[in-house]
Chains A and B, each alone.
Chain A
Amino acid sequence: MINDKNSQKIVDIIQNWSRKHSIWVLAYGTGCGAIEIPPTMTSRYDAERLGVRGAATPRQADVLLITGYLTTKTLKRVIRVYEQMQDPKYVIGFGSCTINGGMYYDSYNTIKVLDKYLPVDVYINGCMPRPEAVLAGFGKLQQLIAEGKANGATKYKENLEWYRGNQKKIIPNWVMPEYNW
């Protein structure tokens, strides 16, 4: 019955609906954007009413929120954490620095474009993005999930070698366990 095309569709719709309304964000403040996460989660903006809540470890989380610039040192940890998350998983790039380096365009220690290294589903721009913008970003992600278009993880799996090549280019000492699915 599950193999039947139509019923599969219905199952997908239900699953995507649940994924859309339950977004567990990994507690990882990678950059200065992390300062606007507490206001987003607390009383005035209250992201929890949209089903957004924090998750303590990557195994439980759905969304990796890259809050701002990534230094090469952090990038290594972010990749590690991203690969430990369970499918389906999404990445939100947060702040101008994840898009094009922002004001650190000539810094020797930060990456400029996040989607070369990790598959980004939604970018939220601004320096720093206001909580409203963050909520809008979550809204966009929800929309993408509901439509089944938030498939960054699949893209990552399919193009793993390309991503890996980019990552290894700036992380010289690659000591991580291999990601095999």
Chain B
Amino acid sequence: MESIWYKILGAIITVIVAFIVGLTYMGLSRKITARIQNRKGPPFYQNFIDALKLASKTSAIHHGFMQHIGPAFMMITSIMSVLVVPVLTGDQWFSNLNFKGDLIFLLYIMVFGPLGMALGAGQTGNPNSAIGVTRGLSQMVGFEIPWVMALVALMMQYKTASIVDLINIQQEQGVWLMFSSPFAFIAAVLAMLGMFRYSPFDIVGAPTELASGPVSENGGKYLFTLMSSNSIFAFAKLTLYVDLFLGGASNIVELLIKTFAIYLIPMLYGTVSPRYRTEQAIKYFWGWPLFFGFLALLYAAIF
């Protein structure tokens, strides 16, 4: 019984760490983007101030119960993802209840929140929200395919659906999956561009088109919850990539370095790209990423 409480405590700490790291990364990304754009940029802790500001907004409105609980759904997804993904290998405090780190479960729990959020956005009655949601769902169908191909390739190659096992395999072999199954890595990274919703795939909340899309009716505490959820989710996704392809991390510094290296890819790509139209984004994912996905499957089938 006692161990369960320790685990829960560890999980809560993990979530807090994820929240802090996620927000810091977003702040750093703003800083780096600013440097690329020839300006000083906000301090790296700017996002904490923004979050605190949103949390200290005194009033809030909602258009009904679904919108009220939409951010809570989003939180379920992000926290569950953090809990499923093993953060540090072999660390008692960061074993975070992971439910054996099942990949298929992770894929589906990742959809839970966006769909709940989409219902909340739908209830606002704002057409921009609904259009944003349809775009987001369409784009999701786009990038999930190469992403799943990469995962299926890994699962078939190593006969396991568990992230923990995949990390162990990497540590036993002493080589990262990034090198031992390169095509899966490429497909997954290309799909990741869509997952992080930086330019050119920021079509969901495109400000100049939809005025921030699904979140356009959310302010104050709702936006705060969404923002925290996004930062936790970003951390979860980054950790997942590190676990799958970069051999996991045994201490927190290694984890931070690896996740940030991964995080730079979509961010830097985003600063120099305009936004795709929805169908162009889908077609992009069904082009080269799909090709690499097939290569990954082929590679997995042969070896």
Contacts and interface: CB of A to CB of B under 8 A. Distances in A.
Q: Do A and B come from one complex?
A: yes
Interface of A: 14-15, 18-19, 21-22, 24, 27, 42-44, 46, 48-51, 53-57, 59-60, 62, 85-88, 181
Interface stretch (B53-61, B157-165, B284-292): B53-61
A88 B220 CA distance: 10
Contact of A46 (B34, B46, B220): B34
13 contacts: A15-B56, A19-B56, A21-B53, A22-B49, A42-B39, A43-B37, A43-B38, A49-B40, A51-B46, A51-B50, A56-B205, A60-B216, A86-B58
Nearest to B48: A18
Interface of B: 30, 34, 37-43, 46, 49-50, 52-53, 56-61, 205, 207, 211-212, 215-220, 223
A56 B58 contact: no
B39 A22 contact: no
A85 B219 CA distance: 9
B211 A56 contact: yes
B26 to A, nearest CB: 13
Given A18-B52, A51-B49, A59-B218, A87 B57 contact: yes
Given A18-B49, A86-B57, A87-B58, 8 more contacts: A14-B56, A18-B56, A19-B53, A22-B50, A48-B39, A49-B34, A56-B205, A56-B211
B40 A87 contact: no
B213 to A, nearest CB: 9
Contacts of A57: 211-212, 216-217
Contacts of A86: 57-61, 219-220
B49 A21 contact: yes
B34 A88 contact: no
Contacts of B215: 60
A140 to B, nearest CB: 18
A147 to B, nearest CB: 16
B212 A60 contact: yes
B53 A46 contact: no
A87 B60 CA distance: 8
In this complex, the member of B42, B50, B220, B223 whose beta carbon has the largest number of chain A beta carbons within 10 angstroms is B42
Contact of A43 (B39, B46, B211): B39
A18 B40 CA distance: 20
Contact of B223 (A15, A43, A44, A60): A60
